[in-house]
Amino acid sequence: MIPFHMAFAVKDKESTRNFYGEIIGCKVGREAENWIDFDFFGHQLSAHINNDPKPTARSKVGNDMVPLHHFGAVLPWDTWNGLIERLRGASYAFVMEPKIRFEGEPGEQGTFFLLDPSGNALEFKSFRNPDAIFEH
C-alpha cells in the first residue's frame, strides 16, 4: 500500500497533538511552529493551524446523515473495536455511535464518526470482509 498525504486545518497544535497522538494513538512526526505531522495508520496527516470556519454540510449514507466533509481510516476489525474502547475509556463523544451499516450486504461495515478538537469530522470503518471494500 502506498500511503496518502492529507493536510487539514486545526485551531492549535497542543489539542491536536493530544487528540491524534494520545487519544487516537498516532505517532507524532515532524513539526514546525504552525503545523504538525502524524502517522495516521500508515498515512501522513499534516495538521496546519488555521482558524477559518469549517463547513457543516451533511450527506445521506444508508439511513444516516453523516458529515459531508470528513476523513478517516479503514481498520482491521479488532483494531476498530479497540479504538472504540479507547475512545469510550477517554469519555470521548461520538458524532455517530459505532454501528454496523449495510448488514448482510457485500459492503457490510462497522462505522463511527467523531470530531477532533478543531471540529474536523473523522470516520473510522472496518469491513467484515476486507476484500469487499469497493464491492457494491
Kindly state the cell numbers that stand for 47.
Answer: 495538521
Note whether 43 and 64 are same-domain residues.
no
Note whether 130 and 65 are same-domain residues.
yes
Note whether 10 and 44 are same-domain residues.
yes
Within a domain: 55: no
Give residue 54's pLDDT band: very low, low, confident or very high (50, 70, 90).
low
Domain with residue 8: its CATH number is: 3.10.180.10
Note whether 44 and 66 are same-domain residues.
no
pLDDT value at 33 more than 70: yes
Q: CA-to-CA distance for 106 and 131, rounded, in angstroms?
A: 9
Within a domain: 20: yes
Note whether 66 and 46 are same-domain residues.
no
Note whether 70 and 22 are same-domain residues.
no
| Interval 80-112: pLDDT, tens | 999 999 999 999 999 999 999 989 888 889 999
| Interval 105-126: pLDDT, tens | 888 899 999 999 999 999 999 9
Q: What pLDDT is attached to residue 95?
A: 94
Rounded mean pLDDT of 67-80?
A: 92
Rounded mean pLDDT of 39-49?
A: 94
Within a domain: 129: yes
Q: What pLDDT is attached to residue 136?
A: 62
Q: Domain span at residue 101?
A: 60-136
CB 16 within 8 A of CB 50: no
Q: How many CA atoms lie within 13 A of 95 on its CB side?
A: 21
Note whether 112 and 132 are same-domain residues.
yes
Q: What pLDDT is attached to residue 28?
A: 97
pLDDT value at 34 more than 70: yes
CB 20 within 8 A of CB 26: yes
Note whether 67 and 45 are same-domain residues.
no
C-alpha distances out from residue 68 to 28, 56, 82, 106, Å: 27, 7, 25, 23
Q: CA-to-CA distance for 13 and 19, rounded, in angstroms?
A: 10
Note whether 77 and 97 are same-domain residues.
yes
- Specify the pTM: 0.86
Total of domains in the chain: 2
pLDDT value at 60 more than 90: no
Q: CA-to-CA distance for 3 and 42, rounded, in angstroms?
A: 6
Within a domain: 3: yes
